[in-house]
Amino acid sequence: MKTPSYPDVQVSLEENIATVEISAAPMNFLSVPLLEHLVSVWQWADKEPECRVIILCTTGKIFSAGANFTDLMAGDDISPAPLYKLARHLFEGNTPVIAAIQGAAVGAGLGLAMIADERVAGPKARFLANFVQLGFHPGFALTASLPHVIGAQRAAAMLMSARRISASEALEIGLVDECAEEDELLDTTRARAQAIARNAPVAVQDVRRTLRKPLVAAVASAFEHELKMQLEHFRTKDFGEGVSALFDKREPQFTGS
């Protein structure tokens, strides 16, 4: 049975479980071509009767560092709109997804992890929504997906403080469903996938669709609002200062302008 294959996304299918591995190390930055490939894989999974669960994972030490600001700053039109349009399709897919997170999930990389129904974290996993440290509004529908998973209060704390969350704390607050040792991460994730895959696939997908209906609607609204806010913030001096501080590896000095 033929599975999709791209330079930055590889897919294998075994025992009704598709392992989808992003290979854009060392940072696994999200780009329009990468998300186009993921959407294509999601569409294949929804149509393939032998695929009942997706395991989403990445190569290297970092799960995903999010969007590449070097690429964003290189053009005149700084907008995440193309990324968000594609990401919506990932939230709307029908096949259950479990993410295996071996390292840092930062910004939009955290947003990618939140697409999954379940998350398994390795000991080196870290979770960071650092948008306000860069001077702009959170994106990738995190203002909808984070409250959906960990509650409004904890989501607000993550998004406004930009504090890094460890794997153990992520488990404590419900951001991940299980922690595993580094050499057991994929096996642990696969065991969770098998627990889903052994059940009636149509029933599972319908239950998932019922449970995710409020999230999918909230995500669609969040993408629209977040994009509007981000485009406004990209024109501020604070955004320029935040990005400059990131590249200079120093603390930003924000002025509120």
Mean per-residue pLDDT of the chain: 95
- The predicted structure's pLDDT at residue 197: 98
Token couple for 168: 């153990």
- The predicted structure's pLDDT at residue 76: 59
Taking the C-alpha atoms of residue 77 and residue 255, their distance in angstroms, rounded to an integer, is 24
**pTM of model > 0.85:** yes
Token couple for 124: 């080196």
5-182 fold: 2-enoyl-CoA Hydratase; Chain A, domain 1 (3.90.226)
**Region class of 74: left (phi > 0), else alpha (psi between -120 and 50), else beta:** alpha
Asked if pLDDT for residue 188 goes beyond 70, the answer is: yes
Asked if pLDDT for residue 121 goes beyond 70, the answer is: yes
Contact call for residues 146 and 98 (beta carbons, < 8 A): no
Token couple for 102: 């071996």
- Identify which has the larger pLDDT, 75 or 11: 11
- Identify which has the larger pLDDT, 221 or 79: 221
Taking the C-alpha atoms of residue 23 and residue 110, their distance in angstroms, rounded to an integer, is 17
The closest of 40, 32, 91, 67 to 223, measured between CA atoms, is: 91
Express each pLDDT in 35-68 by its tens digit.
999 999 999 999 999 999 999 999 999 999 999 8
- The residue extents of the domains of the chain are 5-182
Whole-number percent of the chain with pLDDT over 70: 96
Lowest mean pLDDT among 68-72, 170-174, 253-257: 68-72
